Amino acid sequence: MTSDVRLAFDHPEARSVATAQTDLLDRISLRGHLVDVEIGAFQLERDTTQRISFDVVVEVSPLTGAIDDDVDRILSYDRVTEAIAHELAAERLNLLETLAERVAERILSEPQAQRVFVRIQKLDRGPGALGVEIVRARKEVPVCEGQGEVGPRPVVAYLGNAALASGQLGRLIDDLVATGQPLILCVEYPTGHTPHSDSPAVQRRIDLLALEQMAWVLAGLDGRCSVVGTRTELDWAMKNGKISVWAPSKLVLDAVEGPDVAPRESLALAAWFAMQMNAVELVTLGVTPPKAALPVREILLEPSL
Whether 161 and 101 share a structural domain: no
**SS3 per-residue string spanning 228-254:** ECCHHHHHHHHHCCCEEEECCHHHHHH
Whether 187 and 133 share a structural domain: no
Query: What residues have CB less than 8 Å from 164, skipping those under 6 apart?
Result: 187, 214, 217, 218, 221
Number of compact structural domains in the chain: 2
Whether 95 and 71 share a structural domain: yes
Domain-ending residue, one of 140, 164, 198: 140
Boundaries of domain holding 32: 3-140
For residue 186, which of 210, 209, 214 has the smallest C-alpha distance? Answer: 214
115 found inside a domain: yes
Alpha-carbon distance values, 275 to 61, 195, 218, 268, 294 (Å): 40, 30, 22, 11, 7
Half-sphere exposure of 106 (CA within 13 A, CB side): 20
pLDDT computed for residue 64 by the predictor? 65
Whether 134 and 173 share a structural domain: no
**7-53: pLDDT as tens digits:** 555 677 676 766 666 567 888 899 999 999 999 988 888 889 999 99
Q: What is the CATH number of the domain that holds 207?
A: 3.40.1160.10
Q: Is 52 left (phi over 0), alpha (psi -120 to 50) or beta?
A: beta
**68-126: pLDDT as tens digits:** 555 555 677 888 999 999 999 988 999 999 999 999 999 999 888 999 999 999 999 88
Overall pTM > 0.75: no
Mean pLDDT for the chain overall: 87
Q: What is the CATH number of the domain that holds 65?
A: 3.30.1130.10
Domain-ending residue, one of 140, 175, 198: 140
Whether 128 and 167 share a structural domain: no
pLDDT computed for residue 296 by the predictor? 94
Whether 257 and 188 share a structural domain: yes
**167-190: pLDDT as tens digits:** 999 999 999 999 899 999 999 999
Whether 34 and 115 share a structural domain: yes
Given pLDDT bands bounded at 50, 70 and 90, which one contains residue 258? confident
